[in-house]
Amino acid sequence: MPDRRATLLFAGICAACLAGIVLIAVWTRMHAVSGHHGSPSERAQLHQPLAAGRLYFRYTGMGPDYGRLAFLDHHKTAINYHPDLSCEAVHASGGRGLCLSADRGVMTTYTAYVFDMSTHEVLGEFQLSGAPSRTRVSPGGRIAASTVFVTGHSYASVDFSTQTMLYDLVALEPIADLETFTVVRDGETISRADFNFWGVTFLPDEQVFYATLSSAGEHHLVKGDIPSRTAIVIHDQVECPSVSPDGTRVAYKRRTTLPGGVSWDLHVLRLGDGQDVALADKRSIDDQLEWLDDEHVLYSVPDKSSPAVTNVWTNRADGSGTAELFLDGAYSPAVVR
Amino acid sequence: MYQNDLFERLRANAARSGTRSFRSAISPTVWALGLTSFLTDISSEMVTSVLPVYLFNYLRLSPVQFGAVDAVYNGLSVALIAVVVGIAADRTRRYKAAAATGYGLSAVCKLLLIAAGGTWTGIMAAVGLDRLGKGIRTAPRDAMISLSTSKHDMGLAFGVHRAMDSAGALLGPVVAFAFLMVVGSNSFSGLWLVSFLIAVTGLSALWLFVPRIVQARETADTRNQPFISTVRMPGFIALLLCGTLLAMCTVSDAFLYVLIQEKSNIGFGYVPLFYVATAATFMLFAVSAGKLADRFGLQRIFIMGYCLLVVIYALLLSSQSLSGVLSVACLVMLGLFYAATEGVLMAMASLLIPAGHRTTGLALLLTGVGLGKFTSSLMFGWLWQSGGIDLALTVFVAACVVTVVVSHFVLFRFRHA
C-alpha cells in the first residue's frame, strides 16, 4: 500500500493541476470574450478600394470571429459576417456560394454548405470525406467543385491522397468524383491507381473546367468536359489552376522540390500560345489564385505573427509590378463580379 | 448477441475466481504504473486527436509538411536509443529514473508545442521528442511490471496495466473535445497547457507511488552475466523473430479502418468511432485475456489473438461489402486481438529474459516490433498502390497464416527455455 504522505501529496498535486486547468479555461474564455468587445474589423482592413461587386473570404483575424464566412461589398469598408457559417475555404459566383466547413468534435466531420448570396440562406449540404482544401463555383453559379485531403490512403501516411468532387448547385446533387473521369493523354486513355485531382476552375460555359492531375510525382494541367466525363492532359508542371475572367489565361503555382521541402512560384500561362510568365513575388505561395479582374490576381499568404492568420495580397498578372497587401486577416478570397 | 454472451460469461467468471487472488497478484507497483499510464495517455491522446485539425485547419500546413510531421510521429518510436537507455537501466537498476526520463520528456514536449507557436519545424521537433520519450519509457516500465509480479500472474499484471492504459487513451479525446467546446474551438495553446498539467499528474503518480528500487520477485540476480548471453538465448531469439515477423504481417489500424469504412459504406466521419470501438474492447478484455493466458498458457492466447486477425483479413478479402454487424464484429475482433497479444507478448518476453537484462531485452523486442510495423505499412501501401487492395490483402493473409503456424510451433518449442 502506498504510504499516506505520498497519497496526500498526489492528491495535492492533482488538485493543483485541476485548479490550473480551470484557471486556463477561464482565462482563455475571458480572453476570447474581451476580444469580442474590441473592434472586430480591426484586423481585416482593406488596403485598396474594392472594384468588384462583392468579395467573400474566410476571416482569419484572431478572436471569436476567426474562421467565419465574411464578405465586403463594393465601396464599403465594414466587414459583414454570414450569420451561421464558418468556412475552411469558400467560393461564390452567380448568386450561389459553397462553404467547406469543419465541424470539430471528438470526431471532426466536414460538410460543404451551399448558400444563397442575397438571402444568406443555406440551400443544401454535401458530406465531405476529408479536410477541405479548395473550392470553386462556376461563373453562373450552377456547378461547384471541392477538393479535400483524404488521409490514410497511402503508405506510412507520408503521402496524401485527395478527392475532388463536382456538384450541381441547382439540383443540389453530386455530379461526379473526378477520379471516375476518363483521362486522355496524346490521344490515348491512361489510368493509374495513384491519380489525384485537385484545384478545379470553371470556364463561363459551365461545362468545361481545368484542374490539376497528379501522378507519379508529376503535376499536369487537364481540361475536363463534364457532359462526356473526360479530361485531357494539355500541359505539365501546373498546380491549382485558376482561369482568368476572359478565359484566355490560367494563373497557377509551380512546384520546386528543395532538399528541405517544397516551394511554389506563381505563374500565368497563356492558353493560346503557351507563353508563360512568372509573377513578381519571390515568396513560396501555396494557394489557388483568384482573379480580381483581367489584369490582377489575389492570393493568401500567412502573416508573420502566426500562420493561422493570413493576409490577401494582389499582384499584376503580367509579371510586372510588385505584390501589394490587399486585405488583412483574410483567406480564400472569392470575387463576385 | 454472441459477443454479449461471451462478455457476460467472462465477467461472471472473473467475479467468481476473482477478487482475492486479484489483490495478491497485482502488486502496488503495477497499480501505480497503471495510474501513471492512464494519466499520461489522457494527456498524449488529447494532443494526438487534435493534432491533425491543428496542423491542417488551423496552421494550414501543406500536405507535404503535414506528411513530414506525421512520419516523425509514427517513425521515431522505433528509436534504438530505447535499447541504450535499457542497458543503463539494467546496469544501475534505476528503472524508475529511466521511465521518469521518458515520461518527463513527453510532458515537457507539451510546453514545447506552445513555444513552437506556428513554426512547423518546431512542431516537428516537439512531436519527435514526444515519441522519443515514449520510446524511452516503455521498456523500463514494462520491466518494472514484470519484476514486481510472480511468473504465474504475468499475463494478468500486463492485462491490468494495458486496461488502464487504454482507458486513458479513450478519455483523452473526450477531455480535448470538452475543453475546446467549453473554451472555444481555437484555444490550442490552452489545450496543450492542460495536456501538460495532466502529464505532470501522471509523472507525479510515478514518482510518488513506484518504489525507487523494484525488487525482483523471484528470479535470481543475473546482472553479472554478460548481456550477450541473454541475446544468444534461443528462446529469446525465437520470440524476437516471431514478434518482429508477426508485426510485419499486421496491417496497420489506419489501413484497416479505411478498408472497413469503404466496404461498409459507413460515413467517413465515423472512422474515429472505429478507434473508440477497438480501444474499448481492448480495455474491457485486457484483464480477462491476461487471466486466461496465465491459466491456459501465454503462447496459446497470443496465437489465438493472431488467429482472430487472420479472420478479420479473410472477412475483408472475401466480402465485397460489409454489413453493419460484420463491421462491428471486425472492430471487436481487432480489440480482442490487442487484448490477447499486446500485453501478453511482453509477459512472454519477461518470462524468457533474466531479471538483470529485462529492460534491455524488452527494449530490443519493442524495437523489433516497431520496425516490423513500419515495414508492414510500407509494404501494404506499396502492394495496394501497385497491385490493388485484393492482392495486398491476399499477400498479408498468406504471410500471416504461415507466420502464425510457424510461430505456434516455435513458441511452444521454446516455452520452457
CA distance B55 to chain A (A): 10
Given B118, B377, B386, which is nearest A307 (Cβ)?
A: B118
Please say whether the beta carbons of A156 and B377 come within 8 A: yes
Q: Do B63 and A6 count as a contact with CB atoms less than 8 A apart? A: no
Distances (CA, A) of A312 to A262, A301, A302, A333: 21, 6, 9, 7
CA distance A265 to chain B (A): 15
Residue A32: predicted pLDDT: 62
* ipTM entry: 0.78
Interface test with A, best of B58, B261, B389 (most A CBs within 10 A): B58
**Distance of alpha carbon B215 from alpha carbon B148, whole angstroms:** 7
User: Closest chain B residue to A155 measured between Cα atoms?
Assistant: B381
Q: Do A152 and B65 count as a contact with CB atoms less than 8 A apart? A: no
Given A1, A10, A151, which is nearest B205 (Cβ)?
A: A10
Please say whether the beta carbons of B355 and B282 come within 8 A: no
pTM metric for this prediction:
0.76
Task: Give A-chain residues touching B56 at CB under 8 angstroms.
Answer: 131, 149
CA distance A170 to chain B (A): 24
Given A24, A129, A286, which is nearest B62 (Cβ)?
A: A286
CA distance B190 to chain A (A): 6
Q: Do B67 and A13 count as a contact with CB atoms less than 8 A apart? A: no
Q: Do A104 and B388 count as a contact with CB atoms less than 8 A apart? A: no
Whether the predicted pLDDT of A230 surpasses 60: yes
In terms of pLDDT, which residue wins out, B228 or A120?
A120
User: Closest chain A residue to B46 measured between Cα atoms?
Assistant: A106
Whether the predicted pLDDT of B55 surpasses 60: yes
Given B190, B204, B386, which is nearest A10 (Cβ)?
A: B204
For the segment B314-342, what is each residue's pLDDT rounded down to a tens digit? 999 998 888 889 999 999 999 999 999 99
CA distance A154 to chain B (A): 6
Contacts of B374 (CB under 8 A, 6+ apart): A156, B74, B75, B78
Choice among A30-34, A198-202, B293-297 with the minimum mean pLDDT? A30-34
Residue B214: predicted pLDDT: 66
Strand pairing of A230-236 and A182-185? parallel
Q: What is the mean pLDDT of chain A?
A: 87
User: Closest chain B residue to A1 measured between Cα atoms?
Assistant: B28
For the segment B376-407, what is each residue's pLDDT rounded down to a tens digit? 877 887 787 778 888 989 999 999 999 999 99
Spatial CA neighbour of B53 closest among A196, A57, A130, A162: A130
Contacts of A61 (CB under 8 A, 6+ apart): A40, A42, A43, A44, A309, A328, A329
For the segment B153-206, what is each residue's pLDDT rounded down to a tens digit? 999 999 999 999 999 999 998 898 888 888 876 788 889 999 999 999 999 999
Q: DSSP for A18-50, please give it.
A: HHHHHHHHHHHHHHHHHHHHS-TTSSS-BSS--
User: Closest chain A residue to B71 measured between Cα atoms?
Assistant: A158
Q: What is the mean pLDDT of chain B?
A: 84
A256 interfacial to chain B (CB closer than 8 Å): no
Spatial CA neighbour of B82 closest among B368, B341, B350, B349: B368
Please say whether the beta carbons of A128 and A151 come within 8 A: no
User: Closest chain B residue to A132 measured between Cα atoms?
Assistant: B57
Task: Give A-chain residues touching B57 at CB under 8 angstroms.
Answer: 88, 102, 104, 131-132
Contacts of A36 (CB under 8 A, 6+ apart): A63, A64, A65
Strand partners, A93: A96
Q: What angle do CA B62, B381, B267 make, to 5 degrees?
A: 70
**Distance of alpha carbon A297 from alpha carbon B178, whole angstroms:** 42
In terms of pLDDT, which residue wins out, A131 or A45?
A131
Q: For residue A95, how many C-alpha atoms fall within 13 Å in the half-sphere facing its CB?
A: 6
